Structure 1
Amino acid sequence: MRKSILLFALCCHVLLSQAQSRTDAMLRNLINSGAAPALKHILQYPDSFRYQLIYTQIDRDAHNVPHFKNYYLHVDANMYFNPASTVKLPIALLALEKLHTLSAQGLTGNTPMLTDSSWSGQVKVYTDSTAENNLPSIYHYIKRIFLISDNDAYNRLYEFVGQRAIHEKLRGKGYKDVRIVRRFMPLSEEENRHTNAIRFEDKGKVIYAQPPAYNTQQFNFSRQIFMGKGHLDKNDRLLMTPMDFTRHNSFPLQDLQQMLQSVMFPATVPASRKFDMAKEDYRFLYQYMSEYPSESIYPRYDTAEYFDSYTKFFLFKGAGHNIPGNIRVFNKTGWSYGFLTDAAYIVDFEHNVEFMLTGTIYVNRDGILNDNKYDYEDDGYPFFRDIGRIIYNYELKRKRRHVPDLSEFRLEYHKP
């Protein structure tokens, strides 16, 4: 009797797990039909590689209004992946939204932003050597976030928005499962709850001052998340126990896809889900979500290290450093602990093609976490490159009733 009950419970668990994972036959068959042996190997082991993919077809009507159709491959909100730097996308959006609400006080994206140290672990930031005027600002931090996924820039905007406001604003827009509770610096959970005093000055005059803040809000950490067979602790000691991600940042893939759509196509989402930003803020975002490090003057980057495909995973990462001039990728990537993630809107102006791809994969053959030894080059980047090529080649052949007008996304870039 007991064995029967256990078997029944196990079957229910398996069925529930299968029901939670969403796969569309169209996308599965499309990718399998074009997959090389290395990609087919990965596709055979969804539990090991923990890959998830959302392919978004975009079709325009006679008035150029976009309509979307999502196709899913092993998408499961309960399958945790570490979002890494993809959380910089919502932080940048919330910073611009807050800036917009404060604009009546004379604040702009270029107003110098001076950060004080108000609690243990915090840092003072009064200058920025990568800016033309050597001063930090909201706009300049966002440039750094999208051009090379700069961690320091993210930390400063996390502090500007505030931990409590991050979650209240995102939940208000329907992103109830997004959790952003950490800066990218070695701080405790308590230290991450504290955010700095910040002031904005113009020619020595304080335009806006923000006091230090502490978030008393409680988070639901009841779902425990352990990964790997071993990990290095903060003292670089190898412990042969799984790593605990229970209290880490979390950003489900469907939420990431929806957020990217809300940025690139704000008119297509309900008003309650939109980020309240000025029109010029959207243009600013499009510029730096798609610009390459080689096209940036301030900041200026060493393009041997920060090459054009540095943060462009789909289609291009691992396939050489150059990207054809007819293609632009508006995206945000993340990489950490063996997880690679990308949310991208891809445009080919020559062939009038547009589509979105949002995906994640875990590549860590030895099962040891926090050792900085992951299989990004061998497995991760080729996965994104090959998936991107399969979908792009399909999009080149896909019939559209109306040719899209993509002029909204044609921008001017500095030629290196």
Structure 2
Amino acid sequence: MLTGHLNPTSSFLDTLLSSHAAKLGPVFNDPSRYRLQIIYTRIDRDAGNRPHFTDYYYRTDTGSYFYPASTVKLPATALALEKLNDLNIPGLNRNTPMFTDSLPGISPAVLTDSSAANGLPSIAQYIKKILLVSDNDAFNRLYEFIGQETFNKRLWEQGYSSTQIRHRVGVTGITPEQNRYTNAISFRQNGTEIYHQPVAHSNLEFSSRHDLMGRSYYNDKEELVNSPMDASKKNRIPLADLHGILRSIIFPESVTKSKRFRLNDSDYHFLYYCMSAQPEESSHPVYDTTEFHHNYVKFLLFGGETNNHITANIRSFNKPGWAYGFLTDIAYIADFSNKVEFMLSATVYVNEDGVLNDKHYQFQETGEPFMKALGEVIYEYELQRKRQHTPDLSRFIINYDKSIH
């Protein structure tokens, strides 16, 4: 596992970005202040359409902490599907109704899901909600199914040794010890129980950390604490790990078996659909597109803009996260008209006053415009870049009018 600063293959990315400094604005002009990190992967296909990768890093430092927020949900979707495959129980699949018992004081029960066609919760429905609109509760249910111990051990086995997934997201007042407990879960079909998972407790030993965020923060009692927030027991995934996880999902054949999730073609196709679809293209769940608009979770290149319909022929297969002033997006972007593809990941900190939990972050004013500009710089470079072999991207072309289960 790489630690510390990741050196660029050359100064290419630095030179390219510097030539567009005016377009990239204040974030690029003061990258230290905004804790900017970028990874760009150029993809070149050979005559057999096999992808070859060249990675370029800008200020990427595995030792520099940023709060990963909802980006932790991407490995959860893959690990939940992997666990179903590992269980290998007849009748148990991503669409099997899944019923979660309550854990008093920690997590409520889930017995129904009004967003599903059949009104019942399932792994598939949770994955859709995670990737279409970054639903927090959906992630928490997958976290409980996977289990804290398995979640971390599998990522460590794949080489992501600096990663720590320690808690549910979007809930307050739960201690680190309580987050070690996961609910009892039953999968039932037509009244017959197919699989039961009892309450579990993780005994995992995490390596110690000293991660801090912000200058001050409001605690759970809404009291201002005039010191940095201790993030040492919060979730952690370096940008290089997130980028690697994305590559292992989009290009599983390009990574070693040890770094691959144990998924089948149907799993990958389902993930590609959910990662690239827009909220308005979903029939179950149906979303209010006033809130969950076209680019609700699309930041790189699309800028999270309500009316930024670039073209239906460009898709971002991505997973973003935003919280505490940290905005992160990891994306594989494909232009099916111009036969262009690349991977791009970036994180930026937009919290001018340094106060956490005051809800005064500059996501829309600063973070999202930068993500859009960065995506445009790389995309425009890729449009004019000469390729020896035109990529066949048909694997990623999806019929969004057809509901995928």
* Common topology (TM > 0.5): yes
1:255 CA displacement: 0.7
Match of 1:191 in 2: 178
Match of 2:44 in 1: 59
Match of 2:101 in 1: 116
Aligned residue runs from structure 1 range 212-231, under 5 A: 212-221=199-208, 223-231=209-217
- Equivalent of 2:284, from 282, 298, 313? 298
1:119 CA displacement: 4.4
Structure 2 CA distance for aligned equivalents of residues 196 and 41 of structure 1:
45
Higher helix share: 1
- 8 Å contact from structure 2 (residues 81, 267) kept in 1: yes
For 1:48, what is the secondary structure of its paired residue? coil
Letter in 2 for 1:144: K
Letter in 1 for 2:119: N
Letter in 1 for 2:159: G
The structure having more radius of gyration, on CA atoms, is: 1
- Equivalent of 2:26, from 41, 48, 65? 41
Aligned residue runs from structure 1 range 299-318, under 5 A: 299-318=285-304
Match of 1:366 in 2: 353
Match of 1:386 in 2: 373
1:243 CA displacement: 1.2
Structure 1 CA distance for aligned equivalents of residues 304 and 94 of structure 2:
34
Letter in 2 for 1:268: S
For 2:32, what is the secondary structure of its paired residue? helix
Match of 1:147 in 2: 132
Match of 1:248 in 2: 234
Query: Taking structure 1 as reference, are residues 21 and 264 closer, same or farther at Cα in structure 2, changes over 3 Å only?
Result: closer
- 8 Å contact from structure 1 (residues 116, 125) kept in 2: yes
Number of residue pairs aligned between Structure 1 and Structure 2: 397
Match of 1:377 in 2: 364
1:318 CA displacement: 4.5
1:188 CA displacement: 1.1
- 8 Å contact from structure 2 (residues 101, 184) kept in 1: yes
Match of 2:389 in 1: 402
- Equivalent of 1:345, from 327, 332, 346? 332
Gaps of 5+ in 1: 1-16
Query: Taking structure 1 as reference, are residues 330 and 97 closer, same or farther at Cα in structure 2, changes over 3 Å only?
Result: same
CA displacement, residues 215-235 of structure 1 (integer Å, 9 cap, x when unaligned): 1122122x3112222110111
1:414 CA displacement: 2.2
TM-score by length of 2: 0.95
For 1:67, what is the secondary structure of its paired residue? strand
Letter in 1 for 2:401: H
Structure 2 CA distance for aligned equivalents of residues 118 and 236 of structure 1:
26
1:41 CA displacement: 2.6
Instruction: Give RMSD over aligned pairs.
Output: 1.6
Structure 2 CA distance for aligned equivalents of residues 90 and 188 of structure 1:
23
TM-score by length of 1: 0.93
Moved more, 402-411 or 22-31: 22-31
Match of 2:67 in 1: 82
Structure 1 CA distance for aligned equivalents of residues 27 and 82 of structure 2:
40
Match of 1:103 in 2: 88
Structure 1 CA distance for aligned equivalents of residues 88 and 163 of structure 2:
27
Structure 1 CA distance for aligned equivalents of residues 113 and 211 of structure 2:
38
1:274 CA displacement: 0.4
Match of 2:251 in 1: 265
Q: Does 1:357 align with 2:334?
A: no
Letter in 2 for 1:129: S
Query: Taking structure 1 as reference, are residues 318 and 165 closer, same or farther at Cα in structure 2, changes over 3 Å only?
Result: closer
Structure 1 CA distance for aligned equivalents of residues 122 and 178 of structure 2:
23
CA displacement, residues 198-239 of structure 1 (integer Å, 9 cap, x when unaligned): 000000100000000001122122x31122221101111112
Letter in 1 for 2:383: L
Letter in 2 for 1:358: S
Structure 2 CA distance for aligned equivalents of residues 103 and 332 of structure 1:
28
- 8 Å contact from structure 1 (residues 119, 194) kept in 2: no
Letter in 1 for 2:28: L
Structure 1 CA distance for aligned equivalents of residues 233 and 386 of structure 2:
46
Structure 2 CA distance for aligned equivalents of residues 63 and 86 of structure 1:
33
- 8 Å contact from structure 2 (residues 5, 59) kept in 1: no
For 2:333, what is the secondary structure of its paired residue? strand
Moved more, 153-162 or 241-250: 241-250
